[in-house]
C-alpha cells in the first residue's frame, strides 16, 4: 500500500508529465524525515505531521521543478535518467550528513496502534488505516484526473504541449502543480510508510527498483495501474518470501520481465 501511495505519485509525474524521474524516492525519504522531525523536535501530533510532510515536500519540489526539472522536459530520456541519479546521490549524502546512519524514528499515536477485529480476525490497526486511506486517495485522484478540468488540461498538455499552450493553457503552471502533487504524494507515502519501510539515507536507492517496477508494470499515466501493480508485487513478494524463501527477489524480477514483455506499456498503460 505504501508502495502504492509513493508510486502513484511517481505515476503522476512520470506518466502524466513524461519525465523519467528516478529520484522519486528522494521525495518519499524527505517525507519520512520531515514527519519524524516534526513529531520528535516540534512535538506535532501525527496527523498534522503527515500533513506537514506533504506540504513541505510539495513546496520543496516546486523549487526543484522551477530551478532544475523544468529545463529538462524537452531533453532526452538519458539526460533525465542521469539528472535524477545525480539528485539521488546528492540527497543521500545530505540525509546521511544530517541524520546519520539511523532510520528516522516514528511514533504512532495510540489510536493507530494495536489490533482491530474485523470479521472475527485481528488486523493491525495501522495497516487497516493505510488501506482505507489509500482507497480514499485512489478515489480522489481518479476523480481529479478523469473528471476535472485540471485532469483534462494535464492530459491535453502532455499530448501536445504547443497545442495546449495555443488554446490558452498555462503549461508552465500546470506542470509545476502536477509535479508538486506527484512529489507531495511521494512525501505522504514516505511519511505514512515510515513505520513499515524504515526511512534512512539509503532509502531512495534501496526502493528505487520497487517504485520503478510498480510504475512500469502498472503502466504510465494510469492510476489504476500502479495500484494493481503494487498489490500484485506486494502479495507476490510476501508469498515468495513465505513459500520459497530461497528464491528471494528473483521471482519478482522474472515476473516483471514477463509482464513487460507481454505488455510493453504495462498492464494499464496508455498506448503511445
Minimal distance in Å, beta carbon 78 to another protein? 5
Residue 147 engages another protein in binding (rule: CB under 8 A): no
72, 156, 176, 177: which one contacts another protein (CB under 8 A)? 72
d(CA 202, CA 199): 8
Cβ nearer to another protein, comparing 82 with 108: 82
Q: Let me know: does 12 contact 227? Beta carbons within 8 Å.
A: no
The C-alpha atoms of residue 86 and residue 65 are separated, in whole angstroms, by: 15
Phi-psi region of 18 (alpha: psi -120 to 50; beta: other; left: phi over 0): left
Strand partners, 123: 116
Q: How remote is the C-alpha of 105 from its chain's centroid?
A: 20
Does residue 247 interact with another protein by CB under 8 A?
Answer: yes
x/- mask, another protein, residues 197-216, rule CB under 8 A, reads --------x--xx--xx-xx
Identify which of 262, 256, 184, 267 has the alpha carbon closest to the alpha carbon of residue 223: 267
Does 256 contact another protein by CB under 8 A?
yes
Shortest distance in whole angstroms from residue 209 CB to another protein: 7
The distance from CA 1 to its chain's CA centroid, rounded to whole angstroms, is: 10
C-beta neighbour count of 107 within 10 angstroms: 12
Q: Which of 3, 20, 57, 185 binds another protein (CB under 8 A)?
A: 20
User: Is position 152 an interface residue for another protein (rule: CB under 8 A)?
Assistant: no
Contact between 75 and another protein by CB under 8 A: the answer reads: yes
State the minimum distance, in angstroms, from the CB of residue 255 to another protein.
Answer: 9
In eight-state DSSP terms, residue 200 is -
Enumerate binding residues for another protein (CB under 8 A).
14, 20, 68, 71-72, 75, 77-79, 81-83, 85-94, 96-97, 205, 208-209, 212-213, 215-216, 220, 246-250, 253-254, 256-257, 260-261, 264-266
Amino acid at each position: 500500500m505504501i508502495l502504492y501511495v509513493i508510486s502513484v505519485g511517481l505515476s503522476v509525474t512520470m506518466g502524466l508529465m513524461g519525465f523519467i524521474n528516478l529520484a522519486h524516492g528522494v521525495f518519499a525519504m524527505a517525507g519520512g524525515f520531515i514527519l519524524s522531525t516534526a513529531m520528535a523536535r516540534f512535538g506535532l501530533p501525527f496527523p498534522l505531521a503527515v500533513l506537514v510532510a506533504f506540504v513541505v515536500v510539495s513546496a520543496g519540489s516546486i523549487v526543484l521543478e522551477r530551478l532544475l526539472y523544468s529545463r529538462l522536459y524537452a531533453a532526452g530520456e538519458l539526460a533525465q535518467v542521469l539528472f535524477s541519479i545525480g539528485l539521488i546521490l546528492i540527497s543521500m549524502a545530505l540525509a546521511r550528513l544530517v541524520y546519520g546512519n539511523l532510520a528516522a524514528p516514528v511514533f504512532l499515536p495510540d489510536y493507530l496502534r494495536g489490533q482491530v477485529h474485523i470479521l472475527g480476525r485481528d488486523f493491525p490497526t495501522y495497516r487497516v488505516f493505510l488501506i482505507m486511506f489509500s482507497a480514499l486517495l485512489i478515489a480522489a485522484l481518479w476523480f481529479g484526473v478523469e473528471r476535472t478540468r485540471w485532469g483534462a488540461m494535464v492530459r491535453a498538455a502532455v499530448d501536445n504541449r504547443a497545442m495546449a499552450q495555443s488554446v490558452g493553457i498555462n503549461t508552465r503552471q500546470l506542470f509545476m502543480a502536477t509535479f508538486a502533487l506527484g512529489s507531495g504524494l511521494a512525501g505522504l507515502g514516505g511519511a505514512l510508510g515510515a513505520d513499515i519501510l524504515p526511512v534512512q539515507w539509503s532509502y531512495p536507492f534501496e526502493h528505487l527498483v520497487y517504485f520503478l517496477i510498480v510504475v512500469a508494470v502498472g503502466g504510465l499515466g494510469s492510476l489504476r495501474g500502479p495500484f494493481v501493480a503494487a498489490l500484485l508485487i506486494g502479495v507476490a513478494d510476501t508469498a515468495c518470501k513465505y513459500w520459497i524463501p530461497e528464491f528471494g527477489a528473483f521471482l519478482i524480477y522474472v515476473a516483471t520481465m514477463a509482464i513487460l514483455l507481454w505488455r510493453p506499456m504495462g498492464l494499464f498503460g496508455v498506448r503511445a
